[in-house]
Amino acid sequence: MTNRQKPINEFTMKDWKNFGIYLVLLGLIIIFIAKEWEIGGGFFLVGIIFTAIFQGPKFFKILKGKHW
């Protein structure tokens, strides 16, 4: 099995969702381990935006549920 990198034009929706989560985690790691607030905060905010765009409809669908 070869481990080739996937070009950006072949990314699926799941890949973009995961990318947002990776950016959030990377930002938190940079903030708490490296103590770089500007760089870590930037990764964190961009990750939150990606996650909100790609995961947002799922969260709203859950919040609209009648089982609350």
In the chain, what are the domain boundaries?
Answer: 13-62
C-beta of residue 46 within 8 angstroms of C-beta of residue 54: no
Mean pLDDT of the chain: 78
pLDDT of residue 19: 81
Distance CA 55, CA 36 (A): 27
Is 24 or 5 the better-scoring residue by pLDDT? Answer: 24
Inform me whether the pLDDT recorded for 41 exceeds 60.
yes
pLDDT at 43: 86
Look at residue 66 in the predicted model and tell me its pLDDT. Answer: 61
The predicted model gives 43-66 an average pLDDT of 76
Rg of the Cα atoms in the chain: 15
